[in-house]
Every structure is written in structure tokens, then in C-alpha cells.
Structure 1
Amino acid sequence: MTVANPMAFHPVPKFHHAPSSPGSPKLALSFILDDNRPLTPPAATRLQKSRIAPTQHPVTKERKRKRKMTPAEKRAARSCCIEGCTNYTIDRGLCFRHGGGKSCSMPGCTASAKHRGLCWKHGGSTLCTVDGCTRGAKSRGLCWSHGGGTKCSVANCQKTTISKGLCWTHGGGKRCAFDGCKRPASQSKQNFCSKHQPKMAKPSTITVQCAQ
């Protein structure tokens, strides 16, 4: 009697499956074992094929860029609208001197308010922080005499600017309109200094005698 060797190799019989039909469900054994069925392309490939060529839009016209203003034009645009005044505007096209900004809250006062709704005459200004100084502070808590305000733009000059970034010595401030005069001028004196300020004509008095 011959005994079968349990360690002997027995070849596994090959199963021949029938090709799946197009209508076979994907979970069926014939569909899974069908080697002749083409693989589904990757999602990226399908997406690339499904893309439609983008429509070409007409080239839009470039927006016209606004021309930059020159420093002189910027200065003119920010100047007070009162003729002859070169101060910067605060409100309604007017500077502080000509009514721009809020007025002082004191009854009858038409000056511009500085702080707390008051002008500098009625306590609206901040005093200099130097002991014993009663002048108004310009910047950093100091008055002009003690270093407040902006320094002159000229190198090594420690004086305070008056206008255009310059102190009085280097051309800042307004000069007298009288020919050849370099004294300080103000608009209240019609752009003249105290010496050349036009004198107002005194009103003439007429004496009327009543007939007796």
C-alpha cells in the first residue's frame, strides 16, 4: 500500500474565467479577475481632458495714471483761498488766521481755537514747561525761545523755522513789501513792516455853525 507524502508539492489548478461583459457589476468576480479590461485613467488625466480651452478676452485698456503734482502745485492746492495768503488751509479752504477751523468758545471771540475749545488769548494754548516761562509751547512742550518748534533746515543752524523750513536769518518769514526793506512784515500791516506800514487817513471833521 502506497502512502501519499504530505510534503509533496501539488500544483494549484488554474481557473480560466470568462471575460466580463460591459454590463457586469464591479463587485462581481468576473469583473475583478478580468485582465483584458482597460484600467480607469487617473483623475488628473480625466480632468485635463475635460478642461476647455479658456476664452480669450480682449485686452483691456490700461487705466490712465494721474499725473503727479509738483511741489509748487501741492503748495498752491493747500494754501488759503484768501488772496495773498500763503498759510496752509485748515477748514473750508481757510487758514487759522482767516477763520479756518473751530472758533474760540468765548462769547464774542472770533479767533481760532487751539486747545480745549479756546484760543491762545483765553487759555487755549499750552505753556512752556521751562520754569518761570509764560510763553506758549510750540512743540515738545517748549516755546520758540527754549527750543520748541522745528529747527531750520540749513546745516548747523539751531534756530526755529518760520516758513518754508527756514529761520528768519536764512530766508524764512515774510519781508516788508517796501522796496529794499528786509524787515519782518505781517498781513495785519498790509505786508509791510511797522516803519513802512501805510498810515490810515484820519477822518476829516467838519464844523457846522448854526445861524442865529
Structure 2
Amino acid sequence: MDLTETLIQFRTEWNTYDGNTRLQVEWIDVYDATPGRSVKKLDANELKSLDAQYAQMLGASSTKAAPAKAGKVTKAGVKSTQNRGPVTNKNTKKTIKEENTIEAPVEENTQAPPGPPVSPTVAKEAENAVSGSCTKDEAWKAVLDLKKKDVGDEALANIWLGAIKDAAPGIEQEDVTTEQWWVVRMKVLEQVSSV
């Protein structure tokens, strides 16, 4: 994004700190902003255009993961390491058995909708490297290096956000693991790779 021709204005105010009074930037605003202005009210057309522009990102953050449902009770083979208090000989076997039972979540059978066809070379790479790990920056660099020339920035951004939503549903980008970034990388490359 080229902002060399963009005009802005700095609003300053006097600030006293440690006995020194200096000018300090209060905020940065557009060049023709009026002082004391408030939040701009948008009409219906402007709201629709903003909704369309940010629908993918807003949709990713608004969906929440369904809570796990309780399933059947299973016994765990690991003893608890927590302090149980004073040791008594009464009902010790029964107490240990009750502490070692946990509830297993019921697995829901969900299927992802079919995506676009995968190019044979990308599918072969995916089979050879089913699992891996990389950082967000490494994934993004790989996508930029291997994307087709005709894929625009906006289309790439939408595909990227969709892949994050699929690979790490309900998780903020800061909390995505290196394995999930690998999955994001592979999903995006399936759709935009020039190889």
C-alpha cells in the first residue's frame, strides 16, 4: 500500500513531565478533519460496503466453538498427584477408583465441504509432508513465493483468513500453533500455488 501521497495532520498538546514542558502528539488524523469531531454515522449503503469488505474476518471471529458434550465414563490408568490430605485406611480403594474416572467427550462427526480441485503437484507435496510446523511468517512467505501471478491481494487475503478459520476454528491468530500454521500454509497453497 503506497501512502506517500496521503496527507495527515498531527494534533499536539503541551505535556509536563519531570519538570519539563514539551509538545506531545495527541493524535493523528486525516488532513481535513474538523476539531472535536465525533464518530461518523454511516448510511445503509456504506454499512453494506463495509460488511462486504470485512465479512470474512468478522465471520471468523463471531463463530464460537460448540462446547464438548459429556460422554460415557471411562477409567484412567494414571494416579492423581494432588495431595489428598491425611491418610486413612477407610475406603481407600473406592476413593482412588472414583478419583481416576473421567468423562470422555462425545465426538461429533462433521465433514468439511468439498473444496476446489487440487493440482497434482500440490497434492503430491501434501502427501509427502502431511504434518509439519512453521511460523506464521514462514507460512506467509511460502505462500507469496509460490502463488500464481493472477491471484490478487484481496483474493489471497480472503483465502488466507478462510484457511486460518478452517485450521484453527475459534482461536485467535496469536494463539495458533506452529502445526496449525503448517496446515494453513498447505490449505492456501492448494488453492493458489503456481507449482
Instruction: From the two aligned structures, give the one with the greater strand fraction.
Output: 2
Instruction: From the two aligned structures, give the one with the greater helix fraction.
Output: 2
Greater RCO, CA 8 A, separation 6+: 2
Give TM-score, length-normalised by structure 2: 0.21
Query: Whose Rg is larger?
Result: 1
Give TM-score, length-normalised by structure 1: 0.20
